[in-house]
Amino acid sequence: AGVNSGAEAARPFYWLDVFSDVGLAGNGLAVVLDADGLAPETMLAFAREVGLSETTFVQAPTAGGADYLNRIWTVSGEIPFAGHPSLGTAVAVALHRANGSQAGSHALTQQTGVGLQRVAAVCDGAAWSASVEQEPASFGRTLDRERVAGALGIGSEGMDAELSCQIVSTGLPALLAPVSDLETLGRCEPDFQALRELEASPALNLYAFVHERGSRTIRARCFGADLSGVEDPATGSAAGPLLAYLQDCLDIDRIVVEQGIEMGRPSRIEARMEDGRPVVSGAVAVLATGTVRLP
């Protein structure tokens, strides 16, 4: 079926800002509910129309034990998993099922391209928060520090001298790139051709971060190879791998990630280890609700 084939249907639509307790900060997410029957071409076209880092489409699950299938799209294509789309979609589903009620706790299970994940959406009557239990971390190869520095557009002297550069995934691979200080972090201008020469994965996130020893607060920036060069203001799918990496390296089991500062979209991501899995959580602000007509 083509993008414009079939009858249009009014489908519930939510616009949320994730990892922020106020709108117009954090990472924006568009969620389309009742999305069964939508062609992949339509989902991609709508994701491009919206222009956010991710747009999700909620469909009936195909796996036992799941409450819904969460299909996650960037402007380049569908991806198997992502962090802020897991949190924001959980809030949208909870709101819709509760007919807009602004209170309560909702425990749900989402189905994604990497399996089933437990998610939760909680509202205290005034504000929403959400969490996702990610898959156990898969530790990939380490990469040459100097080549990663080149991909970040900085000199090798700007890299953390103690921590290694490594690809880690809890569903979506992140190249964790420890840099030395905040000034260097602010100067990062990624070279995506150099990144592709390092790692061919089209969904790879280049996650530069600063960790001051003894602190559990991390500053980070994320550049997605599949986001047409656009910086991502909050990346839950990279924060989970980062925590697993820091636990492996430094025996840290809980962090707060500050991201999006350089973009003017401050975000706060909380991550903790539970039973060998990173649990990523944060505030969710509901910006708009309504319907969207899609064939």
**Which residues have C-beta within 8 Å of that of residue 156, sequence separation ≥ 6?**
145, 146, 149
CB half-sphere exposure, 149, CA atoms < 13 A: 15
54 is catalytic: yes
Residue with tokens 């991501």: 269
CB count within 10 Å of CB 215 equals 12
3-class SS of residue 281: strand
Spatial separation of the C-alpha atoms in residues 276 and 134, rounded to whole Å = 10
Spatial separation of the C-alpha atoms in residues 118 and 86, rounded to whole Å = 10
Residue of 8, 54, 78, 157 with catalytic role = 54
Q: List the one residue out of 51, 66, 59 whose CA is nearest residue 15.
A: 51
Q: Is 41 exposed, middle or buried (0-12, 13-18, 19+ CB in 10 A)?
A: middle
Spatial separation of the C-alpha atoms in residues 205 and 45, rounded to whole Å = 22
Spatial separation of the C-alpha atoms in residues 21 and 17, rounded to whole Å = 8
**Residue numbers annotated as active site:** 54
